[in-house]
Amino acid sequence: MLKKQNIAVIGSGFGALSAAIRLVSQGHNVTIYEKLDKPGGRAYQYELNGFKFDGGPTVITAPHQYDELFELAGKKREDYLTFVPLDPFYRIFNGNGDHFNYWRDQDKTEQEIARFSPSDIQGYRIFLNKMNAIFEWFHPFTEKSFSTLFSFLRIFPYVFKTGTWRSMYSFASMHVKNDFIRKILSFHPLLIGGNPFDTPSIYGLIIGFEKEWGVHYCLGGTGAIVNALCRVFEDSGGTIKLNTEVSRLLIEKNRISGLCLANGSVVKTDSVVCNGDIAFCYKHLIPHENLPRALNLWLNNIQYSNSLVVIYFGTKKKYTDSRLSHHNLILGNDYKKFMKDVFSRKKMPRELGLYLHMPSATDPSIAPEGCESFYVLSLVPNLDGKIKWAEIIDDYTDKILNFLEENYLPDLKENIIVQHTVSPLHFASTLNSFKGAAFSIKPSMAQSGYFRPQVKSKWFKDLYFVGAGVHPGAGVPAVMASGKIAAADISEINQI
Ligand SMILES: Cc1cc2nc3c(=O)[nH]c(=O)nc-3n(C[C@H](O)[C@H](O)[C@H](O)COP(=O)(O)OP(=O)(O)OC[C@H]3O[C@@H](n4cnc5c(N)ncnc54)[C@H](O)[C@@H]3O)c2cc1C
């Protein structure tokens, strides 16, 4: 029989919602404490003058993960949400403005490769077969913790056999010659805060996720998914407290026994699930004197992902006749140097590396009639870069909008009627992310699998983490999986 617990969940990102719905459906008393005025975390949806802008995730894969949560609550996802498959998944532009449609269908993608480099088709087939095998092999490991080093070391013979210790770009380069095609086959780490030139190609399993389950858009935006999951959670008996920041964790010996809220109240708990950034939690929610030396050492040595500047903008005219698709990646010519600047040198790159989201191409309800809704995301260094964001953000925003106007969206600036920009400072101060990292801990080999924090805290009893900073990593499918792992761990522990 399961012992009913009082569980506090800090934050309301996808990792939190995945854990909270499972825990409440297992019969626990679950309360979510969210510091912001709306749920979702990085998936916060801004509503400005009739436009809706998804703050973060837009590429939705693995719809079965959502289905599972609705089923646990005795409901059907289709009654709440409509997912629309997108094809092409992405339109990728090179530095000359030529574009490549990245389709789900292999033949169609091969036709695209043939336009740029017919001799690379054979290599692409081998690459794809290997990526499919990697997906088959590694996918099960994304749904459980690596509880021992041995459990992690077991994967290494396979990693060596398949060469997946190589970086994504190097792995792609083994199979295709054309540089644009190499970039196209290796960009996926960027979706989770990794540099294609040093992220191990195990993370190519994202390619498998997309091939297996497709890339989807949810009508009403990703915010509609967040709202539906919150409804399901509350209808199942859970409580959400918005505008409620957790300021401290209560510790008794080595156990987390409750929370102190910023408004001064104290909440006693049996377990705490922290969806806030793991480094921020250890550094700011637990008094320094309570941190073991080894934990401090670890905190001082972790490497963090890049950050982002994101401009949400709505135009008073439609751009349906433009060259753009729903998901657009705009890569520069000096790609390798760009990545080095963002990820290693941590200085502002000269070129831009952009993702441009145009959801109103699929869903007119996201913008007022006759208008178009966009967001453009620019990869930038995290706050280790010591860039004076408050001083440069206006000029940087202008640089991006000018670039888009000159190359993709004619007369853009005179047609913008609503605009909101966030810089790395937003990730640091609004979302409490250490160093303003947009994707938490960087996905390197030394910070993956067993070497990434697991959901169950190694240092404090009854403390669990869900979200981008723990195994299996950043990205919505991964953080949803961390919520699943946490709920299973909590209930197993209390099986009596
Ligand atoms: C711009 C952008 C685009 C992205 N695009 C994609 C995409 O297309 N597809 C994809 O799969 N992934 C994407 N990602 C990555 C993905 O969004 C994240 O990895 C994922 O959403 C993170 O979820 P999480 O569970 O870690 O929680 P978060 O979303 O990080 O939420 C954490 C929550 O905790 C709250 N919190 C923190 N501290 C406290 C406290 N002390 N008290 C109370 N509340 C607190 C925060 O306010 C926040 O709401 C994107 C990320 C960004 C930034």
Is the torsion defined by CA of 417, 422, 423, 425 positive or negative? positive
Rounded Cα–Cα distance for residues 179 and 416 (Å):
35
Best CA proximity match to 311, nearest among 201, 434, 393, 198: 393
CA distance 150 to 136: 21
The answer for residues whose C-beta is within 8 angstroms of residue 213's C-beta and 6 or more apart is 61, 62, 63, 64
Residue whose CA is at the smallest distance from ligand 1 atom 24: 467
| Ligand 1, atom nearest to 58 Cα | 8
Query: Does residue 188 have its Cβ closer than 6 Å to ligand 1?
Result: no
pLDDT (tens, 9 = 90+) of the chain, 496 residues, equals 678 999 999 999 999 999 999 999 999 999 999 999 999 999 999 999 999 999 999 999 999 999 999 999 999 999 999 999 999 999 999 999 999 999 999 999 999 999 999 999 999 999 999 999 889 888 888 988 888 888 888 888 888 888 888 999 999 999 999 999 999 999 999 999 999 999 999 999 999 999 999 999 999 999 999 999 999 999 999 999 999 999 999 999 899 999 999 999 999 999 999 999 999 999 999 999 999 999 999 999 999 999 999 999 999 999 988 899 999 999 999 999 999 999 999 999 999 999 999 999 999 999 999 999 999 999 999 999 999 999 999 999 999 999 999 999 999 999 999 999 999 999 999 999 999 999 999 999 999 999 999 999 999 999 999 999 999 999 999 999 999 999 999 987 543 3
Query: Strand (E) positions, 321-389?
Result: 327-330, 354-357, 372-380
Residue nearest to atom 48 of ligand 1 (CA): 41
Q: In the Cβ-directed half-sphere of 350, how many Cα atoms lie within 13 Å?
A: 5
Asked if residue 15 has its Cβ within 6 Å of ligand 1, the reply is: yes
Q: What are phi and psi of 230, to 5 degrees?
A: -65, -40
Domains of the chain: residue spans and CATH: 6-84+219-303+441-493 (3.50.50.60), 108-214 (no CATH), 304-429 (3.30.519)
Count CB neighbours of 266 within 10 A.
11
Distance from the CA of 426 to the center of ligand 1, in angstroms? 12
Stated pTM of the model: 0.97
| Cβ burial, residue 275 (10 Å; 0-12/13-18/19+) | buried
- Taking CA atoms only, the protein residue closest to ligand 1 atom 12 is 475
The whole-number pLDDT of residue 71 equals 97
Say yes or no: CB of residue 479 within 6 Å of ligand 1. Answer: yes
Residue closest via CA to ligand 1's atom 47 equals 431
Q: What is the pLDDT of residues 355-380, one digit of tens each?
A: 999 999 999 999 999 999 999 999 99
Helix, strand, coil percentages (3-state) for the chain, rounded to 5, are: 45, 20, 35
Q: Apex CA 381: angle with CA 380 and CA 384, to 5°? A: 155
Judge whether 347 and 385 are in contact, CB under 8 Å: yes
Question: How far, in Å, is the centroid of ligand 1 from the Cα of 232?
Answer: 20
Cis peptide before 88 (omega within 30 of 0): yes
Cα separations in angstroms, 116 against 85, 99, 148, 176, 237: 26, 10, 46, 11, 55
Q: Please work out whether the CB of residue 276 comes within 6 Å of at least one atom of ligand 1.
A: yes
CA nearest to 36, candidates 12, 67, 60: 12
Residue-wise pLDDT for 456-470, tens only, equals 999 999 999 999 999
Residues 6+ apart with CB under 8 A from 429: none
Give residue 119's pLDDT. Answer: 98
Name the residue with the closest Cα to ligand 1, atom 27. Answer: 13
Angle value at C-alpha 116, between 113 and 118, nearest 5 degrees: 60
What is the rounded distance in angstroms from the CA atom of residue 53 to the CA atom of residue 46? 5
- Ligand 1 mutation pick, 10, 31, 42, 312, max ligand atoms within 8 A of CB: 42
How many whole angstroms from 13 Cα to the centroid of ligand 1? 5
- Radius of gyration from C-alpha coordinates of the chain: 22
Measured in Å, residue 43 CA sits from the centre of ligand 1 at: 6
